Amino acid sequence: MTDLLDKYTGSYALVVGIDHYPDPRFSPLGNAEADAREVMEVLSAPPYRFEVSGLFGEEATRHAILDKLFDLESTAPNDRVIIYFAGHGYTLVDNFDRESGYLACFDTIPERHHTALRMDDVVDFRARAGAKHIAFIFDACFSGQALGLTRSAAVTAAGRFMKLRAYHAISAGGPGETVADAQSMTRLLVEALRHPERVDPKLLTIEKLGAYLRERMVSESRSIQTPQFGQLSGSGGGDMVLFALQPGETADLIFSVLPGPFDWVRIPRGPVIPRNEHAPIYLPDYMISKYPVTNDQFQVFVEAPDGYVDVRWWDYCL
């Protein structure tokens, strides 16, 4: 698992954020651009190291966004690409009761839908791009139907899902839902990217990230906001790897996975009767951690390539 990220030849992202629109019918957003800049910052930094292009405010016209998407079509098969948008989105239903999602660009006029970005035009980028791992993250509201999502399960074997195509989409909510601006899905997204061990201590993928964001957002909004998440058509059961534990890094998790420094409790010497035994044994004074180590936490240590040799794992031992 430690060489999974080495299989990517390049990492690219397009990040778009729009707070204010010239058309007053789009209510101003207070945090879309700040959210987008924070996503740009975390993706460009270790351990992700994406090459990120950003469009903010008046830069984010329909033409400019499509132009940036076109530039990313030249990516290679073993590249990974993330498209992120924070701003207004909406869903329209045509005469045949088919739903279509739209992104409101800076120069969008609401009643002229061709001035917005049709969701199909955005996600169809995957049909022209070379990269076989592509994820779309929209901090806006669309239904799963408008996004064309499916719920097919990704292949779980890490060696295999790296080889297969993976096209995913995440949106902040469904149609008719009010997406929080101040307490946005992006806040949870950035939190998960900054602390991937909170999602999975060893391997963070888009599938795991989407499930985590959905669970957290539903819980924190009390089911008012339900992120839409799934695979897009054409996905072959793969999964984009965002973070994989590297050799020498495992012991760093001790400070986030285990509560420490531990509070130690002294157990006085005396007789102890082991379970299923009748005769007592006599033990001297010994110390025991006040906080229990869960099976999941201990499993991180057991599977760590450096668990028994890196002294940082043993700093709190007596």
Range ranked top by mean pLDDT from 35-44, 174-183, 255-264:
35-44
More confident position, 22 or 300: 22
| Cα–Cα distances in angstroms (integers) from residue 280 to residues 70, 217, 274, 276, 284, in the given order | 75, 52, 7, 11, 13
Query: The domain 5-244: what is its CATH number?
Result: 3.40.50.1460
Q: What is the pLDDT of residue 301?
A: 67
Q: What is the pLDDT of residue 163?
A: 82
Structure tokens, 89: 């989105």
Interatomic CA distance for residues 53 and 82, integer angstroms:
11
Q: Is the confidence at residue 259, as pLDDT, over 80?
A: no
Across the range 107-123, mean pLDDT stands at: 91
CB 87 within 8 A of CB 36: no
Query: Domain residues of the chain, as ranges?
Result: 5-244, 250-314
Nearest to 189 by CA among 84, 59, 304, 283: 84
More confident position, 222 or 44: 44
| Cα–Cα distances in angstroms (integers) from residue 147 to residues 12, 32, 67, 134, in the given order | 22, 21, 21, 14
Q: What is the pLDDT of residue 251?
A: 44
pLDDT tens column, 58-92? 999 999 999 999 999 999 999 999 999 999 988 78
Interatomic CA distance for residues 28 and 87, integer angstroms:
9
In this structure, of 112-126, 136-150, 164-178, the range with the lowest mean pLDDT score is 136-150
Q: Is the confidence at residue 5, as pLDDT, over 60?
A: yes
- Phi first, then psi: give them for residue 5, nearest 5 degrees: -65, -25
More confident position, 143 or 54: 54
Across the range 269-295, mean pLDDT stands at: 74
Q: What is the pLDDT of residue 1?
A: 45
